[in-house]
Amino acid sequence: MSRAHSNLHRTAWADWWEGTRRTDIWWTLAWFDIVLRYRRSMLGPLWLTVSMGAMIGGMGPLYSSLFGTELSKFFPHLALGIIFWGFFSSMATESCNAFIGSANYLKQGYFPISLFVWRSMSRNVIQFAHQIVLYVPVAIWAGISLSWSALLVLPALLLAIVNAHALGIILGLVCTRFRDVAQIVTSVMQMLMFLTPVFWLPESLPDRAEYILWNPLAQMLDLLRTPLMGGVSEAHNWWGIVGWTLVTTTVSSLLFKKYRRRVVYWL
């Protein structure tokens, strides 16, 4: 029996693990995606940092004046909001093309499809790493003092990665089969950006509108942003994201088990 034939008959778990453990492949592919995107550019990936810095620097004083909020309080909130939202948005939208953009690999030989979800995710992690460094000068300028509670960002990041991978499998499968869904995802993410406290402060909401903060993206943003601003997130946000994680991982597991072999036929 050939290796390709035997691999096609692996269990769903073995198939997922085969793609996950090959960090040498998906990390290298992600790195070259970044290199190719910025080839013949003087600054290369540093353009990610420059463009994000220009956006934060321009919007901070403007929105602080519009909302009548002290700049030293609002600026770190906005900086982290924009950086993390860019991470969320790019994870979701690029997951839609995780398999479509890797069609050449999938058509030419056997590759576990989870490998290409990790490729898409790691590419966005590299971009995120170029942007999160902008928060360091913002925090120093605003005089934010961090305590041991800042380490809570680590489990929050782990939950974000687990959810991103689960949603990456779901969106990758669905968007490969139904190409219009990618446009729907883009539109929904644009709408959710204004329903999530990226540009505004949660305490500015009236009591009757606080249900907006039940949005899983708002809860995830709070778990990541609050520790880096010297605070501690509410317990209900942790429980909300844990529950959401169970839902996404269950759905992605079921879809992966049933449809992973059909991806190459949908391309």
pLDDT of 10 > 80? The answer is: no
2-7 contacts, C-beta under 8 A, 24 or more apart: 3/110, 4/109, 4/110, 7/110, 7/112
pLDDT of 1 > 60? The answer is: no
Interatomic CA distance for residues 99 and 171, integer angstroms: 10
Confidence tier at 195 by pLDDT (50, 70, 90): confident
Output the six-digit token pair for 227: 């520790």
pLDDT at 170: 95
Confidence tier at 2 by pLDDT (50, 70, 90): very low
| Mean per-residue pLDDT over the chain, rounded | 86
Model confidence pTM above 0.75: yes
E strands of 30-150, at which residues? none
pLDDT at 267: 80
Interatomic CA distance for residues 122 and 28, integer angstroms: 9
Max mean pLDDT among 54-68, 155-169, 229-243 falls in 155-169
Confidence tier at 251 by pLDDT (50, 70, 90): very high
Angle between the 153-177 and 216-228 helix axes, to the nearest 10 degrees? 150
Give tens-digit pLDDT for 215-245: 899 999 999 999 998 888 889 999 999 999 9
pLDDT at 176: 93
Count of beta carbons in the 10 Å neighbourhood of residue 252: 23
Domain of residue 139, residue span? 3-266
Helix count and strand count (H, E) for the chain? 13, 0
In the chain, how many domains are there?
A: 1
Least confident of 40-49, 129-138, 178-187, 214-223: 40-49
Q: Summarize the confidence of residues 70-90 as an average pLDDT.
A: 89
Exposed / middle / buried, residue 222 (Cβ in 10 Å: 0-12, 13-18, 19+) = buried
Q: Summarize the confidence of residues 167-184 as an average pLDDT.
A: 93
pLDDT of 263 > 80? The answer is: yes
Q: Classify each residue of 67-80 as buried b or exposed e, where b means 16 or more C-beta atoms within 10 Å of its C-beta.
A: eebeeeebbbbbbb
Output the six-digit token pair for 256: 């992966």
Confidence tier at 209 by pLDDT (50, 70, 90): low
Residue 26 host element (H or E): helix 23-37
pLDDT at 47: 77
Interatomic CA distance for residues 260 and 71, integer angstroms: 49
pLDDT of 122 > 80? The answer is: yes
pLDDT at 8: 57
